[in-house]
């Protein structure tokens, strides 16, 4: 059973009863996504690469919050984003239709578009944001395309250790272009060691919403 919860910054998240796990930090879903993925992922990469087009891979579409914020960022910067998101367990329409991420009708429609867009083929969501959703686990995912940034937003390693395996991180390394970056809210020791073993340069950064740490893995 999946329930909508309200986090401390007022934005919604979800609680998965079976896993006893939330989809975001209870200190703030929106604040966490903005910090970990938009600022320390997308804005960081753009500061190192002056490009007008970027390919992003997300591990775990979930509520669609990262896709939604990225689409808005793309529009504000007038830059093109190709966003691929893996989600083996999509949420139901009665859940996403009630999420409160929007502040306008346009934004409400944007989140609905993200969830309603067809699976397994790239769809034009806005003139700046193309989305390909795939109902695949990272463990089973393969792609000829290469990405610039990976938003690694799986459930915590204590809940889903298989997703954070060395093998999966090696796959992420091979899916990224040179200069690429992987960001995540997680700063667990074994994960950081696996990330380094997979070939990444590991940077431990200030975490989101008062959390001590988060991690970025960079391919130099
Ligand atoms: C932390 S939550 C999602 C966060 C999401 N980015 C959001 O903003 O709501 C993790 C997501 O990963 C998905 N997931 C579970 N197992 C996975 C796997 N093996 N590969 C990729 N995604 C997985 C879950 O269904 C869930 O939606």
Instruction: Give 169 Cα–ligand 1 centroid separation in angstroms.
Output: 15
Quick one: average pLDDT of 24-53? 97
DSSP state of 35: I
Q: Identify the band that residue 39 occupies on the pLDDT scale cut at 50, 70 and 90.
A: very high
pLDDT digits (tens, 9 = 90+) for 127-161: 999 999 999 999 999 999 999 999 999 999 999 99
pLDDT at 220: 87
Provide, rounded to the nearest whole percent, the portion of the chain with pLDDT above 70: 100
Which single residue is written with the structure tokens 């390693």?
157
- Mean pLDDT over 39-54 rounds to 96
Distance (Å, rounded) from C-alpha 172 to C-alpha 182? Answer: 8
Positive or negative, the Cα torsion across 153, 148, 200, 138? Answer: positive
What backbone phi and psi angles, to 5 degrees, belong to 193? -65, -40
d(CA 215, CA 108): 31
Q: Which of 30, 62, 156, 160 has the most ligand 1 atoms within 8 A of CB, as the residue to mutate?
A: 62
Separation CA 197–CA 21 (nearest Å): 28
Tens of pLDDT, residue by residue over 90-116, are 999 999 999 999 999 999 999 999 999
Distances (CA, A) of 3 to 6, 112, 115, 192: 10, 18, 17, 31
Assessment of whether the complete model's pTM goes beyond 0.85 = yes
User: Which of the four pLDDT bands, split at 50, 70 and 90, describes residue 5?
Assistant: very high
Index of the ligand 1 atom closest to the CA of residue 24: 1
pLDDT at 50 over 90: no
Give buried/exposed letters for 72-82 (b at 16+ CB in 10 A, else e).
Answer: bbbbeeebebb
For the domain made up of 27-218, give the CATH fold. Answer: Rossmann fold (3.40.50)
**What is the rounded distance in angstroms from the CA atom of residue 220 to the CA atom of residue 211?**
27
Ligand 1 pocket by Cβ (under 6 Å):
23, 33, 59-60, 62-63, 65-66, 86-89, 137-139, 153-155, 160, 163
Across residues 149-176, what is the average pLDDT?
A: 97
Q: Which residues contact 142 (CB under 8 A, 6 or more apart)?
A: none
Average pLDDT, the chain: 97
């Amino acid at each position: 059973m999946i329930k909508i919860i309200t986090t401390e910054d007022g934005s919604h998240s979800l609680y998965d009863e079976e896993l006893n796990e939330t989809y975001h930090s209870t200190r703030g879903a929106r604040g966490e996504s903005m910090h970990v993925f938009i600022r320390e992922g997308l804005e960081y990469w753009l500061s190192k690469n002056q490009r007008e087009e970027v390919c992003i891979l997300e591990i775990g579409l979930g509520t669609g919050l990262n896709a939604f914020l990225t689409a808005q960022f793309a529009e504000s910067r007038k830059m093109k984003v190709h966003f691929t998101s893996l989600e083996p367990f999509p949420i139901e329409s009665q859940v996403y239709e009630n999420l409160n991420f929007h502040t306008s009708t346009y934004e409400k429609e944007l989140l609905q578009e993200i969830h309603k867009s067809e699976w397994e083929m790239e769809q034009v969501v806005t003139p700046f944001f193309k989305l390909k959703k795939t109902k695949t686990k990272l463990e089973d995912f393969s792609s000829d395309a290469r990405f610039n940034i990976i938003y690694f937003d799986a459930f915590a390693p204590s809940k889903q250790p298989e997703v954070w395996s060395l093998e999966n991180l090696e796959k992420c390394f091979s899916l990224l272009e040179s200069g690429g970056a992987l960001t995540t809210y997680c700063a667990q020791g074994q994960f950081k060691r696996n990330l380094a073993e997979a070939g990444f340069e590991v940077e431990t950064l200030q975490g989101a919403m008062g959390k001590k740490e988060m991690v970025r893995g960079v391919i130099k």
